[in-house]
Amino acid sequence: MLSGFSSFIKRHSTTVIVGVGLSLAVPAAYAIYRYLKNTNQQANAEASERRGEKLNELRGKLERLLVSLEQIVPEVAENEDEECIVCNSSKAVIQTFPCKHKVLCRTCFVRTLQVAVTDFNLPLKCVLCRTRIATLDRERHEENAMQSGSSI
Ligand SMILES: [Zn+2]
Ligand SMILES: [Zn+2]
């Protein structure tokens, strides 16, 4: 289902947040984050300028994403084990790899990402165990493990 999603984001990056469902909007923002993370090592001026542009773009997207997330009623956790460890009310739905912790709701994950981007504190770490987050998607993680590269 997610095959070709990366190229979809590249082609429709300005409309992707409005055009797709919220379950896809988080990965869309995360894809840009991954782009930033992957270009982190490039030190030349042109790359850092491009990075600055991407960073502003990502900030804007995260801002809009948070607004749209606030307009929907979050899934409520049915028991304590399902609770987001940040807000303690919504259901934790974002799973991070490789540590496999599923401890954040969408809103809290996006907020965490927003803070990390603003503070330039990348790559993002799991809020629970501080492991560097490689991906949110098991499929993609296994793909990356095999290819040791990124298509984004
Ligand atoms: Zn939360
Ligand atoms: Zn973790």
Ligand that comes closest to the CA of residue 105: 1
Q: How far is the CA of 142 from the centre of ligand 2 (A)?
A: 17
Q: Using the mean position of ligand 1's atoms as its centre, give its distance from the Cα of residue 108 in Å.
A: 4
- Its sign, for the CA torsion 111, 115, 94, 82, is negative
Q: For the residues 117-137, what does the mean pLDDT come to?
A: 89
pTM more than 0.95 = no
The predicted-structure confidence for 75-120, as pLDDT tens digits, reads as follows 889 998 999 999 999 999 999 999 999 999 999 999 999 898 888 7
SS3 90: strand
Report the C-alpha gap between 83 and 103 in whole angstroms. Answer: 7
CA 85 / ligand 1 centre spacing (Å): 7
Please give the residue that has the higher pLDDT: either 6 or 88.
Answer: 88
| Single-letter amino acid, residue 135 | T
- The ligand with the least distance to the CA atom of 90 is 1
pLDDT, one tens digit per residue, over 12-60 is 444 433 333 556 667 767 777 777 766 655 567 777 788 788 888 888 9
